[in-house]
Structure 1
Amino acid sequence: MTKRAVRIGNCSGFYGDRVAAAREMVEGGPIDVLTGDYLAELTMLILWKAQQKDPSAGYARTFLTQVEQVLGSCLDRGIKIVTNAGGLNPAGLAEKITELAGKLGLEPKIAYVTGDNIVDRLPELQSQGVDFANLDTGRPLAETDRTAISANAYLGAWGIAEALAAQADIVVCPRVTDASLVVGPAAWWHGWARDDYDALAGAVAAGHVIECGPQATGGNYSFLDEITDRRYPGFPIAEVAADGSSVITKHDGTGGLVSPGTVTAQLLYEIGAPEYLNPDVTAHFDTLNLTQDGEHRVLISGTRGSAPPPTLKVALNQLGGYRNTMTLVLTGLDVEAKAAYAEQLLFEVLGGREKFAEVDVNLLRFEHADAPRNVEATAHLRITVKDPDPRKVGRAFSNATMELALGGYAGFHTTTPPTPETAYGVYWPALIPAEHVTHTVVLPNSERRVIPHPHPTSPIQSLQHADSVTSAGREEPARDFGETRREPLGRVCAARSGDKGGNANVGLWTRTPAEFAWLRAHLTEAKFRELLPEADGLAVHRYELPNLNALNFVVVGLLGEGVASSTRPDPQAKGLGEYLRARTTDIPVALLG
């Protein structure tokens, strides 16, 4: 007899998300599994810094607060807890949960996953031929002299499934893929085999949708007019069926919206090609279908899967050096002249630009002519310096800006007082053959089990005909869509953008096939570059997902060496999609009704 769908509720999309979400998810209605995603490339750097101050740290501390609020209820109702809050120290977090449970008079069975952390093995692995070539630049790791401070391979879901099969109440994970937090419980619940690729792929899609919490339920959603319930969005739930299909929903009485649009937005978030690689399966996002299945219920079905690749992704963080930023405010007339004068004077005081390893000067124009308010007549001159020597970019730099207060341009002031330097990291994405990583689960009885990697594996391939997926550069044939009018691109499409290391992705989709037919023909790589001049000189990859009425663009290197290093005001490209929607282009009048 086929089991009913497993109800998996998410309570965290990042380290620092809504603390009350765990309690609200557990108390809001029936679920079988409570998950929480806390890790991102930047988070691993944050956890490393915490561990330098306290070797017993290295995990997401807010998770303990959430567990304290819900542990008793979860044990009473048989709700499993699966999280990657273990970060760099899953064993340490498991121990802290045990201590917390003891104070509450509870005795949960706790398991944890390990084996992802390979930072101490980098020299050994390099000597064995693993070059850790940067996925974006192709440079082998040996060509950089920076110190690697963290290196974590993305593990899959079978360690989680093994722990749940051993009756664990809580499974603490380190750097597993975000989707694994859903795939593992679903595989355990339904008893899937390792080669049930379509089912596993469906669970990957569901996991990808709910991993960022309320981004699937109306958060960060372009079509704001569709969200009639403007309360804080309820966190998402994936009801994953035995065949891998799922219904994305939320608890009754919570705010926000679950629609094909909100689910599409999250499916496109931070992806590249439609072949979405995971350690256990390659999920083909260009095969899935979305169907409204009731109010705030969207069915994801038809997802095809194929064998996973023979490699695991590795997220390395290197110590890049030190940085500091000061922002000077420019008011009124002659903004460009004032900015040039301020830059000249500042580096004269500092002893020259060449004193620093890297300098970034960015004039941000906000001002309006004849502005009705003082603040609307201002622009910002944002100056960032980087150097391996913290003394150069510390108060020596920021204090120097204050020498312009009485001797610089008219109206000088800054957005902050002088600030000290901060250490920054450089993100280095790479691959490692899976056989070099020992995926291990420590069960509640302290037994350690090694989880074999899936076999066989396959090279990356599309399940669709080659012409159905557009990679970089293919142009659509000219087509007449009738009379056009100059309007913002966002009058026809929505967008969701984000970061993957130093790359930015922008997914754009329409509400109707007619709109997509135009967008597909109009938004070529060349047109995309025209609308986003910052992509000049950078590689742009373009992909089509006709099943979602969507296009996905990846701009390689737009964010430099990752969020911790980027000097852009929006270092994670969160606003990039909305910027593109605001750009004007020639849109058919027939689509503007």
Structure 2
Amino acid sequence: MTLRIGNASGFYGDRFDAMREMLTGGELDVLTGDYLAELTMLILGRDRLKDPGAGYARTFLRQLEECLGLAQERGVRIVANAGGLNPAGLADSVRQLAERLGLPVRVAHVEGDDLTSAHPGSLAAHAYLGGFGIAACLRAGADVVVTGRVTDAALVTGPAAAHFGWAPTDYDRLAGAVVAGHVLECGAQATGGNYAFFGERPVRDLLHPGFPLAEIHEDGSAVITKHPGTGGYVDIGTVTAQLLYETSGARYAGPDVTARLDSVRLSQDGPDRVRIDGVRGEAPPPTLKVGVNRLGGFRNEVTFVLTGLDIEAKAELVRAQLTDALAKSPPAEVKWELVRTDRGDADSEELASALLRLVVRDPDQAAVGRALSGAAIELALASYPGFHVLAPPGKGAPYGVFEATYVPQGDVPHVAVLPDGERLPVAPPPDTAVLDAVPEPPLPEALPPGPRTRAPLGRVAGARSGDKGGDANVGVWVRGDDAWRWLVHELTVERFRELIPEAADLPVTRHVLPHLRALNFVVEGILGAGVAAQHRFDPQAKALGEWLRSRHLDIPEALL
């Protein structure tokens, strides 16, 4: 007996038509949507400040207006975390929509994740719940289940546990569903989107990637695929890339189970079909992660364009002028970054230009607003030759700070609100285990010596990177045993720090996943206080892996 679970959203703002495409493109039992991220919770928190009835993903409602009838006709149940900060409010809105459309839809929701009152000064503080509240709603006959902050994988583990009758101690089965859920959660990233080796396929195959689905079996194994005839592609590489996204060590912890990523085995099961099996699970940790979002102050920026000769001297001049102009009341934090995009003897003005970026932060909006704007614009006729900016600085905008804390599982009131209004408490897991690091496994024999060529790492390795609060992860994988024997000995923590100088003074941990021929590096603190703080040029570390792939190493010629 197979349960077919599809995904129609990887983030708040993802392809609007994906819900309709998934409902009309082929057979499905459950359709999920992941609308939440650390930054989204901050955005929804600001929405709620303006309107206490807000706080959920309104896009989801507009999609349902088009698609709720389709789902009913096809017998597809919908599970989404679009409830954000207000799952009860979204559930009420879905009921009103169904009534207006004349559809007999049973709606349930999951709540209890909101711990904002326990974190004074926070805009939103929410625990990451597991899938058993969703399972309770589905077992009670819900057609639509909306949640607040659950783990992304819970959108899959909940329906699977309900369908197959899994118990909270069916760790291997639950872990298999967690892995499948992690592959589905970011939508088209599993079907060729954001993929390191995209150049191996014709552009026409990537114009409109289909969204992924998982065929889940009672033993927890799964096949990742997509609807027939849709764009993109599913192979071991695309699934490996997504498995490495925003993970850390061999133990991938969640509220229901800890999945052992070092046990995952992938195999091609036909065109656009990848089988996942062998996944082992362990008892979950005794605590739940809580994402706490606070307003950190105000932020402003201006980018100066430096063209032609004497780039460094021009940058030095404008730095000195701005520093002097702001000396009476300097912002609390000032960060300059010179990006040398210029080339000598360029045949276009753009190619002759570098960018000098100034970012300022302060608790007081005035310190980053009018003062900076005035100081920058007043230099228009009094600074370096060719002075201009990409855009004048504005008033300054609020920025957020993300922090992860942890609370005992039993301290969070996980509640399933069933279609008839009954409030059903969801018990914490019966067993837990403290999360310990997995020792590095025995390494394969190194590749024998031979001729080498200086070349980019990306000639032989793929990568996918992302953020978790202020930390970033970079997963690196190869597609052959010889390449793995080279990579696992070559790409040490020390070599990683050499290739990514930003990480030179930061804690870096390497995790080895031999079944995936993959290494996963976690770099602590590289993103400061998280994406909303806009600490660096690439605030979510989305392209950190691609930077790593562009760095040059001495690579065995046999691999090139």
Q: TM-score range by the shorter chain?
A: over 0.9
Q: In 2, distance between residues paired with 1:29 and 1:410?
A: 61
SS at match of 2:421: coil
Hey, what does 1:108 align to over in structure 2? 105
Could you give the per-residue CA deviations for residues 409-448 of structure 1, whole angstroms, max 9, x where no partner exists? Answer: 1111111133121111111011111111010011110110
Aligned residue among 206, 215, 218 for 1:242 = 218
Compute the displacement of 1:453 (Å). Answer: 0.6
Structure 2 residue aligned with 1:263, among 217, 239, 254?
Answer: 239
Partner of residue 509 from structure 2, selected from 541, 558, 562: 541
Q: 1:270 to 1:469 in 2, by over 3 A?
A: farther
Q: Which residue of structure 1 lines up, in the alignment, with residue 47 of structure 2?
A: 50
Query: How do residues 480-495 of structure 1 correspond to structure 2 at under 5 angstroms?
Result: 480-495=448-463
Q: CA deviation at 1:535?
A: 0.5
Which residue of the partner structure matches residue 410 of structure 1? Answer: 385
SS in 1 for 2:271: coil
1:126 aligns to what?
none
- Alignment of 1:578 with 2:540, yes or no, is no
Contact 2:6 2:214 in 1 (8 A): yes
Q: Which amino acid in 2 is paired with 1:404?
A: L
Q: Describe how 1:282-293 pairs up with structure 2 within 5 A.
A: 282-293=258-269
| Aligned residue in 2 for 1:90 | 87
Distance 1:55 1:411 in 2: 49
Q: In the alignment, what sits opposite 1:175? A: 149
Is the contact between residue 36 and residue 84 of structure 1 (CA under 8 Å) also seen in structure 2?
Answer: yes
- Matching residue of 2:2: 5
User: Secondary structure at 2:315's aligned position in 1?
Assistant: helix
2 CA distance for matches of 1:305 and 1:419? Answer: 51
Q: Out of 155, 168, 175, which is 2:129 matched to?
A: 155
Q: CA deviation digits over 1:261-319, x for unaligned, max 9?
A: 00000000000111000100000011010010011000000100011010001100111
Q: Matched residues in 2 for 1:267 and 1:93: separation?
A: 31
Partner amino acid for 2:145? V
Which residue does 1:356 correspond to in 2?
Answer: 331
CA shift for structure 1 position 531: 0.3
- In 2: Cα distance, 1:275 partner to 1:376 partner: 46
- Range moving further from structure 2, 63-72 or 477-486: 477-486
Deviation at 1:350, TM superposition (A): 2.0
1:128 corresponds to? none
Describe the superposition over 1:327-359 as per-residue Cα deviations: whole angstroms up to 9, x where unpaired.
11110111111011001111212225x621111
- Give how far 1:536 is off: 1.6
* Partner Cα distance (2:119, 2:284) in 1: 24
Give structure 2 stretches of 5+ with no counterpart. Answer: none
TM-score scaled by length of structure 1: 0.92
Deviation at 1:231, TM superposition (A): 2.5
Query: Distance between the aligned counterparts of 1:492 and 1:267, measured in 2?
Result: 19
Deviation at 1:469, TM superposition (A): 7.8
Tell me the equivalent position of 2:294.
318
Taking only aligned residues, the RMSD between alpha carbons, in angstroms, comes to: 1.4
**1:565 equivalent in alignment to 2:539:** no
* Contact 1:509–1:550 (CA under 8 A) maintained in structure 2: yes
Equivalent position amino acid for 1:13 in 2: G
Per-residue CA distance 1:504-549 (angstroms, 9 max, x = gap): 1100000101101100000001000000001021000100000001
Q: Deviations over 1:155-211 (max 9, x none)?
A: 000000000000000000000000000000011111111111000000000000000
Q: Find the aligned partners of 2:409 and 2:501 in 1 and give their Cα distance.
A: 39
Measure the CA separation in 2 of the matches of 1:528 and 1:255: 35
Which AA in structure 1 matches 2:22? M
Identity %: 56
CA distance in 2, matches of 1:334, 1:271: 44
Letter in 2 for 1:226: E
1:479 Cα deviation from its structure 2 partner: 6.0
Partner Cα separation in structure 2 for residue 230 and residue 196 of structure 1: 38
- Superposed displacement of residue 477, structure 1: 8.9
1:379 aligned onto 2:354: yes
Q: In the aligned structure 1, how far is the partner of 2:524 from the partner of 2:131?
A: 29
Which residue pairs with 1:143 in the alignment?
none
Q: Paired residue for 2:206, among 227, 230, 244?
A: 230
Match of 1:429 in 2: 404
* Pair 1:68 & 2:36 matched: no
Could you list the runs of 4 or more consecutive aligned residues of structure 1 that deviate by over 2 angstroms after TM superposition? 225-228, 476-481
- The amino acid that maps onto 1:275 is R
Per the TM alignment, residue 567 of structure 1 is displaced from its structure 2 partner at its CA by 2.9
Letter of the aligned partner of 1:208 in structure 2?
H
1:26-41 equivalences under 5 Å are: 26-41=23-38
Question: How far apart, in 2, do the equivalents of 1:552 and 1:172 lie?
Answer: 33
C-alpha distance in 2 between matches for 1:49 and 1:396? 25
Counterpart pick for 1:339 among 283, 297, 315: 315
Match for residue 503 of structure 1? Answer: 471
Q: Which of 493, 497, 500 is residue 532 of structure 1 equivalent to?
A: 500
SS in 1 for 2:510: strand
Output the amino acid matched with 1:71: L
Q: What residue number does 1:388 align with?
A: 363
Aligned residue-pair number = 558
SS of residue matched to 2:341 = coil
Structure 1 residue identity aligned to 2:36: L
Matched, 1:274 2:250: yes
Instruction: Give me the whole-angstrom Cα distance separating, in 2, the residues matched to 1:260 and 1:295.
Output: 11
What is the identity, as a one-letter code, of the residue corresponding to 1:219? G
Which residue does the alignment assign to 1:134? none
Aligned residue identity for 2:441? S
* Mapped partners of 1:188, 1:407: distance in 2: 69
Distance 1:467 1:571, change over 3 A: closer
**Contact kept? 2:213, 2:226, Cα under 8 Å:** yes
Q: Tell me how far 1:122 sits from its aligned partner.
A: 3.3
- Counterpart in the other structure of 2:441: 468
Quick one: which of 340, 345, 348 aligns to 1:370? 345
SS in 2 for 1:286: helix
Please give the per-residue CA displacement for 1:143-163, whole angstroms capped at 9, x wherever unaligned. Answer: xxxx32111000000000000
Inter-CA distance 469–507: structure 2 relative to 1 (3 Å threshold) = farther
Distance 2:99 2:384 in 1: 63
CA distance in 1, matches of 2:262, 2:302: 45
Distance 1:430 1:478 in 2: 41
Counterpart residue number, 1:59: 56
Q: Distance in 2 between matches of 1:97 and 1:484?
A: 61
**How much does 1:461 deviate?**
4.2
- Taking the aligned partners of 1:172 and 1:361, their CA distance within structure 2 comes to 44
Q: 2:322 and 2:384 mapped to 1: Cα distance?
A: 11
**CA gap 1:19/1:455 in 2 versus in 1, 3 angstroms:** same
C-alpha separation between the residues in 1 aligned to 2:481 and 2:451? 19
Q: Is the 8 A contact 2:446 2:486 kept in 1?
A: no
Q: Which of 6, 11, 16 pairs up with 2:13?
A: 16
**Residue matched to 1:144:** none
Distance of 1:273 and 1:98 partners within structure 2 = 42
CA offset digits 1:473-500 (Å, max 9, x no partner): xxx9976431111000001100001111
| In 2, Cα distance between equivalents of 1:478 and 1:358 | 47
1:297 corresponds to 2:273: yes
Q: Secondary structure at the match of 1:347?
A: helix
Match of 2:426 in 1: 451
Deviation at 1:458, TM superposition (A): 1.1
Shift of 1:569: 1.5
